[in-house]
Amino acid sequence: MENYKVMPIKYEETKPFILGIHYAKRMPMIQFSFGLFFNDELVGVVCYGSPASQSLCRGIAGDEYRKKVLELNRLVLKNNIKNEASFLVSNSFKLLHRPVIIVSYADTSQHHTGYIYQATNFLYTGLSDKRTEWRMKGTNKHSKTICEQYTLEERKNNPDKFHVVQRPRKHRYLYVIANKKDKKQILKNFKYPILNYPKFENKNYKTNTNIETQGILF
């Protein structure tokens, strides 16, 4: 794509861009951030970090590869022009250390099916398990953060402040970045079945703070 480039960016650039656009309005744990620049203007950001669950890391390709798992946990575009998302994701892969297994999710509660992952040839491995999670009134804190900051007794004894909800299931996608030999072994170790892509409505969504228009991102 002419006049576009993808480069590593600092957290100080990443945070305001994400919080200004992404519907979740919170920052995930980030190890690597890459920016999409058009004529030197930052127009997109993709972020990677360690998954919150070590059992997830082991569950993808076994204990041998648990430290090789990264989660693509934010993908945000300012204008969402055609092909920007796939260009950003595919070029960010080239800047990551190998071998690495990328896991990412499409949120069914936001009507996402993972259009961008399908466009960039991720492997689809089904829906996440049914689970419950904690919510705290008046905040958008992640359930893991709530559990770290408050004991189970505190949460149970304050029903006006804390409550449990059913966590929406998410479409899970995986991508292996490795040489031919390593990739073959990683795929052999996969614990999840590789399935056909879920269908999606092919609409021209825009990226802004309106959840209804966040259709191909997450």
Please write the tens of the pLDDT for every residue from 135-166. Answer: 888 887 777 788 888 989 889 888 889 988 77
User: Domain map of the chain by residue range?
Assistant: 4-129+169-213, 130-168
Judge whether 94 and 32 are in contact, CB under 8 Å.
no
Tokens linked to 126: 């089904």
Please write the tens of the pLDDT for every residue from 16-68. Answer: 999 887 666 678 889 999 999 999 999 999 999 999 888 889 999 999 999 99
Q: Sheet containing 4-8: give its strands across.
A: 4-8, 32-38, 41-49, 69-77, 100-107, 170-177, 123-127
pLDDT at 129 over 90: no
pTM: 0.77
- Tell the CATH topology of 4-129+169-213: Aminopeptidase (3.40.630)
* pLDDT for position 22: 66
Please write the tens of the pLDDT for every residue from 55-105. Answer: 889 999 999 999 999 999 999 999 989 899 999 999 999 999 999 999 999
